[in-house]
Structure 1
Amino acid sequence: MFKTTRRKLIAALLLTPLMTSAAMAQGKGLMTIIVNDPANPYWFTEGNVAKATAEKMGYTAVVAAHVGDTNTESKLIDTAITNKSVAILLDPANASGSVGAVQKAVAANIPVLLINAEINKDGLAKAQLVSNNAQGAALGAQQWVKVMGDKGKYVELFGAPSDNNAATRSNGYKTVLSQYPDLKKVAQEVANWDRTQGHNKMQAMMQANPDIKGVISGNDEMALGAIAALKKAGKLKDVVVGGFDGSPDAVAAVKSGELAYTVLQPVAVFSEEAVKQADSFIRTGKTGAKSEKQLFDCLLITKENVHKYSSPFVLDK
Structure 2
Amino acid sequence: MKKSSISLILAAAMAAAVSAPAFAGDYLVGFANNSDTYDYCAKFRAYLKDATEAKGIDIMVTDAGGDTNVQNGQIDDFIVQDANVVSAISNDLDGSVPALKAAEDAGIPYISFLTSVKGGDDYPGYIYVGSQNVDAGKAQGEYLVDALPENAKILYFTGEPNDQQYIDRKQGLTDALKARDDIEILDEYNVKNSKDLGMSTAEDCIMSYDHFDAIVCQNDDSALGVVQALKTNDMLGDVLVLGIDGSDPALESIKNGEMAMTAFQDAKAQAEAGADIFAQLRDGTDPKDIEDVYIPFKIVTSDNVDDYLNGGSSTEAETETAQ
| Long gaps (5+) in structure 1 | 1-19
Greater per-residue helix proportion? 1
Instruction: Check whether the contact 2:252–2:309 (CA below 8 A) recurs between aligned residues.
Output: no
Instruction: Check whether the contact 2:156–2:215 (CA below 8 A) recurs between aligned residues.
Output: yes
Instruction: Check whether the contact 1:139–1:263 (CA below 8 A) recurs between aligned residues.
Output: yes
1:279 is the counterpart of 2:279: yes
Instruction: Check whether the contact 1:34–1:47 (CA below 8 A) recurs between aligned residues.
Output: no
TM-score of the pair, normalised by structure 2: 0.86
Q: Which residue of 2 aligns with 1:227?
A: 227
Q: Which residue of 1 aligns with 2:299?
A: 300
Q: Which residue of 2 aligns with 1:4?
A: none
1:36 is the counterpart of 2:51: no
Instruction: Check whether the contact 1:130–1:294 (CA below 8 A) recurs between aligned residues.
Output: yes
SS at match of 1:258: coil
Superposition deviation, residue 53 in structure 1: 1.2
Superposition deviation, residue 21 in structure 1: 5.2
| Counterparts in 2 of 1:73 and 1:290: CA distance versus 1, 3 Å | closer
Matches of residues 75-224 of structure 1 in structure 2 within 5 Å? 75-121=73-119, 122-124=121-123, 125-224=125-224
Q: Which residue of 2 aligns with 1:25?
A: 24
SS at match of 2:92: coil
Superposition deviation, residue 23 in structure 1: 6.0
SS at match of 2:23: helix
Amino acid at match of 2:192: N
Distance in structure 2 (CA, Å) of the matches to 1:269 and 1:60: 20
Distance in structure 1 (CA, Å) of the matches to 2:216 and 2:201: 13
Amino acid at match of 1:295: Y
Distance in structure 2 (CA, Å) of the matches to 1:89 and 1:25: 19
1:258 is the counterpart of 2:254: no
| Counterparts in 2 of 1:55 and 1:126: CA distance versus 1, 3 Å | same
| Counterparts in 2 of 1:300 and 1:289: CA distance versus 1, 3 Å | farther
Instruction: Check whether the contact 1:156–1:217 (CA below 8 A) recurs between aligned residues.
Output: yes
Distance in structure 2 (CA, Å) of the matches to 1:270 and 1:137: 19
Query: Number of aligned pairs?
Result: 295
1:72 is the counterpart of 2:70: yes
Distance in structure 2 (CA, Å) of the matches to 1:275 and 1:258: 35
| Counterparts in 2 of 1:231 and 1:174: CA distance versus 1, 3 Å | same
Structure 1 residues 154-174: Cα deviation after superposition (integer angstroms, max 9, x where no partner)? 111011222210121112111
Q: Percent identity?
A: 22
Structure 1 residues 177-223: Cα deviation after superposition (integer angstroms, max 9, x where no partner)? 13212111112111011000111111112211131111111111111
SS at match of 1:88: strand
TM-score of the pair, normalised by structure 1: 0.87
Distance in structure 1 (CA, Å) of the matches to 2:111 and 2:32: 10
| Counterparts in 2 of 1:302 and 1:309: CA distance versus 1, 3 Å | same
Distance in structure 2 (CA, Å) of the matches to 1:289 and 1:81: 22
Instruction: Check whether the contact 1:213–1:240 (CA below 8 A) recurs between aligned residues.
Output: yes
Consecutive aligned runs of 4 or more in structure 1 exceeding 6 Å deviation: none
Superposition deviation, residue 315 in structure 1: 1.5
Structure 1 residues 257-300: Cα deviation after superposition (integer angstroms, max 9, x where no partner)? 10111100122212221121122123223359663x43321000
Distance in structure 2 (CA, Å) of the matches to 1:67 and 1:289: 33
Q: What is the alpha-carbon root mean square deviation over aligned residues?
A: 1.9
Distance in structure 2 (CA, Å) of the matches to 1:252 and 1:178: 31
Q: Which residue of 1 aligns with 2:45?
A: 47
